[in-house]
Amino acid sequence: MPFNNIEGETLGYVIAVKESTAIVQPVRRAMAIALLLAVLLSGGLIMLFYRLLGRVERDVLTSRQGLVQTQAELQALNQELETRVQVRTAEVQATSADLQAIIRNLADALLVVDLHGQITRYNPALTEMFELGEQNLMGRNCQEIGQAQLPGLIEQCQAQAEQVLVAEVALAHNHVGQAVITPILVMPDKGQETQQGTAILIRDITQEKEVDRMKTDFISTVSHELRTPLTSVLGFAAIIQDKLEDNVFPQLAADDRKTSRTVRRVRDNINIIVSEAERLTALINDVLDIAKMEAGKLEWRMEPLQVGEVIERAIAAVSSLLDQSELNLVTEIEPDLPKILGDRDRLIQVVINLLSNAIKFTNAGTITCRLIAQADNLHLAVQDTGMGIAPEDVAKVFDKFKQVGETLTDKPKGTGLGLPICKQIVEYHGGKIWVESELGVGSTFQFTLPQPDRPQGGLESPPIANLDSLVRQLESRTPTSPNAPPSEKTILVVDDDPSIRELLRQSLEAQDYQVCEAEDGLEAVDKAKTTNPDLIMLDVMMPKINGFDTAAILKNDPQTMGVPIIMLSIFEDKARGYRLGVDRYFTKPIDSQQLLAEVGGLLSQGQSNKKVLVVDHNASTLATLSQVLQAQGYQVSAAANGPECIEKALSLKPDTIIVDSGMSQQHDLMTTLRFEKGLENVVFILLGEDQKDEQLVKLTGQQLT
């Protein structure tokens, strides 16, 4: 009988054996029983096998049905995946086509190279900019482009993978390109960036530079043209002021209150005119400075200097501003700082600007000027306790023509060029400038200047300690003729602007000089020959013949070459004027007092004394002095020893002899030339530190050290 579980499933069979001893003989009873059991057991096993087999068949069928269903699902998923791949492939192809179209039509040149400098991608603009024709550049080395700068820039980019480089490169047809060099970085699974190559984008900026040049020229021209009317404003205001102070105000009744009040107001009004004209002049100078810096036309005078001395000069220049305020100035200068190579006047201009800004924008408190050595730089900081700068304005302070603050409520205090000029000057010296500020707390403007690579003492001073001092001494030591009264001196004023001529006439006639006028170069040359003036004032920009050409004609004519010339110009081109032989060079607007002082000094000489003999055994000193003096318009001859000095002095008869003090004593040059050779009117200027011979110093005047 079957044996089932509680679920009704047959698990086996129970065999019941009924005693059948009566049927089977006793002898065979055991065997029969065993046989019966075997038959029954076999049949049960067979039935169990078939049951299990059926169950397996059912499971196999069920699994087969599941596999069929899974296969269908996989096919559906595969179809969906293929559809997605096709869509993404189409998108990638479209993007690639767009990218290729962009690269092909890109106005800028594109060059991509691998780490070995092999070209992996480029565009037609590259071949056009460098005139490479239709040749295939793929796989070729970037040096084959024929642009010498690019390989070096690529190497620099690979060495400094964290930086993006910008440089100007030369293109075909003398065009100029701006190259932006960027490293190509990838980040693998490990998360560390590795450089795979370099991408270079080059833009032709020739037209942009031309527009910048035109803009700079326009600003420069307009600024220069403003100098002429400013000269008239300042000059006539000064004349009116002098006339009122000398002739009018003293005649008025001082005890009359109304008259006194009117005098005070007139005096104040004239002072305002003068001060505002001077302020406008300063603003114009700022515009011209930035224009010349952008055009690369600014002349730099690099020399070894102590930055501490620069600070002292700047503080002296702003002392009047400090006196008008209630601020306390603290100076902290680290001792024993090395010299740097820089333009003294321009660095003074930077420090003056920073100090002036600190004073103007600080109502109370302290201004600190600090100079320290820091790593390879000198670090200068100007810290104030003023109003500070808003965070959003900090990045704008060094932008041209930008002034921080609210433009409708805060009155501008300049052109917004002071700090941009400072930035240009500092960056020219290889440093950087920045500001740290907190609104309501104060600001700290600071900049760095690189120290020389050589150790302290390695930065040698030029052969002459102070060339400016030498030139000033040379100008003041020229021989003078017996002073004739001004009424006997005639000055030729040459300018195409009648207002300037009238201004100069009134200024000179007030000193009792005789004045004649010319309105262009041709008339100036003619009057110089017919009137034999004692001095000529010459403008530069004039019709027919400009001032430089006029000066060249006058200085090459034996009849007029000895007449001193003072050049008055709206252009700052002293070097050109001095090369032509002019004696003094003034830039408009003119300081009348300084001009009249120079007129008196030149007239006392009697003629233009420009011949100088330089004597020194040091070839470097001779070369330096000759170069500087020739740039100032002097006719320079050189001698390397005493006998040569005597020979050239007798043949050339110079106006001045600049000589090494040791050599002068060794050869007794002064006594020989002045008392034995008849050159008693020659002025001697000594170079050196030897002060043993006091009589020699007395004979020559102040010794230059």
Nearest to 422 by CA among 435, 407, 438: 435
Q: 302-404+414-450 has which fold?
A: Heat Shock Protein 90 (3.30.565)
Q: What is the percent of the chain where pLDDT is above 90? A: 14
Determine the average pLDDT of the residues in 293-317: 83
Neighbours of 367 (CB within 10 A): 23
Distance CA 589, CA 570 (A): 8
The residue ranking higher by pLDDT, 633 or 260, is 260
Asked whether residue 243 carries a pLDDT value surpassing 90, the answer given is: no
Distance CA 538, CA 521 (A): 9
691 pLDDT band, cuts 50/70/90, is very low
Please tell me whether residue 697 adopts helix, strand or coil conformation. Answer: helix
Q: Which of 138-152, 160-174, 185-199, 409-423 has the lowest mean pLDDT?
A: 409-423
Number of H helices, E strands in the chain: 21, 23
pLDDT in tens, 558-598: 888 889 999 998 877 787 888 788 888 888 888 888 888 88
Q: What is the percent of the chain where pLDDT is above 70? A: 83
pLDDT in tens, 481-493: 555 677 788 999 9
CATH number assigned to the domain covering 611-687: 3.40.50.2300
pLDDT in tens, 414-426: 556 788 889 989 9
11 pLDDT band, cuts 50/70/90, is low
Neighbours of 571 (CB within 10 A): 19
pLDDT at res. 494: 94
686 pLDDT band, cuts 50/70/90, is confident
pLDDT at res. 22: 54
635-639 β-sheet, strand order: 635-639, 611-615, 656-660, 683-687
Asked whether residue 364 carries a pLDDT value surpassing 90, the answer given is: no
Most confident range (mean pLDDT) of 282-296, 376-390, 571-585, 656-670 is 376-390
pLDDT at res. 705: 35
pLDDT at res. 13: 55
pLDDT at res. 404: 58
Distance CA 461, CA 339 (A): 10
pLDDT at res. 331: 92
Angle made by CA atoms 518, 238, 290, in degrees to the nearest 5: 80
Most confident range (mean pLDDT) of 37-51, 297-311, 431-445 is 431-445
* Domains 487-604 and 611-687 fall in the same CATH topology: yes
pLDDT at res. 289: 76
pLDDT in tens, 329-344: 999 999 988 888 898 8
Distance CA 171, CA 160 (A): 25
Determine the average pLDDT of the residues in 53-70: 81
453 pLDDT band, cuts 50/70/90, is low
pLDDT at res. 18: 54
Q: What is the DSSP letter of 687?
A: E
Name the residue type at position 140: R
Asked whether residue 474 carries a pLDDT value surpassing 60, the answer given is: no
Question: What sign does the dihedral 70-73-79-80 (CA atoms) show?
Answer: negative
Cβ distance 262 to 194 under 8 Å? no
Determine the average pLDDT of the residues in 103-128: 85
The CATH architecture assigned to 106-208 reads 2-Layer Sandwich (3.30)
Could you tell me the residue ranges of all domains in the chain? 33-105, 106-208, 302-404+414-450, 487-604, 611-687
The residue ranking higher by pLDDT, 97 or 464, is 97
Determine the average pLDDT of the residues in 320-334: 87
Residues 6+ apart with CB under 8 A from 556: none
The 3-class SS string of 262-330 reads HHHHHHHHHHHHHHHHHHHHHHHHHHHHHHHHHHCCCCCCEEEECHHHHHHHHHHHCHHHHHHCCCEEE
Angle made by CA atoms 547, 553, 557, in degrees to the nearest 5: 145
Q: Characterize 377-415 residue by residue with b for buried, 16 or more Cβ atoms within 10 angstroms of its Cβ, and e for exposed.
A: bbbbbbbbbbbbbeeebbeebbeeeebbeeeeeeeeebb
268 pLDDT band, cuts 50/70/90, is confident
Determine the average pLDDT of the residues in 64-71: 83
704 pLDDT band, cuts 50/70/90, is very low
407 pLDDT band, cuts 50/70/90, is very low
pLDDT at res. 245: 85
pLDDT at res. 435: 92
DSSP secondary structure of 136-168: --TTSBGGGG--SHHHHHHHHHHHSTT--EEEE
Mean per-residue pLDDT of the chain: 79
User: Is the CATH code 1.10.287.80 the one for domain 487-604?
Assistant: no
Distance CA 424, CA 289 (A): 10
pLDDT at res. 685: 80
pLDDT at res. 146: 76
Determine the average pLDDT of the residues in 368-376: 89
pLDDT at res. 348: 92
pLDDT at res. 246: 83
DSSP secondary structure of 57-105: HHHHHHHHHHHHHHHHHHHHHHHHHHHHHHHHHHHHHHHHHHHHHHHHH
Asked whether residue 403 carries a pLDDT value surpassing 50, the answer given is: yes
The pair of three-digit structure tokens given for residue 405, joined into one six-digit string: 């603050």
Determine the average pLDDT of the residues in 634-655: 82
Determine the average pLDDT of the residues in 546-556: 90
pLDDT in tens, 12-49: 555 555 555 555 566 677 777 777 778 778 777 888 87
Residues 6+ apart with CB under 8 A from 84: none
pLDDT at res. 69: 85
Distance CA 598, CA 604 (A): 10
Determine the average pLDDT of the residues in 496-522: 91
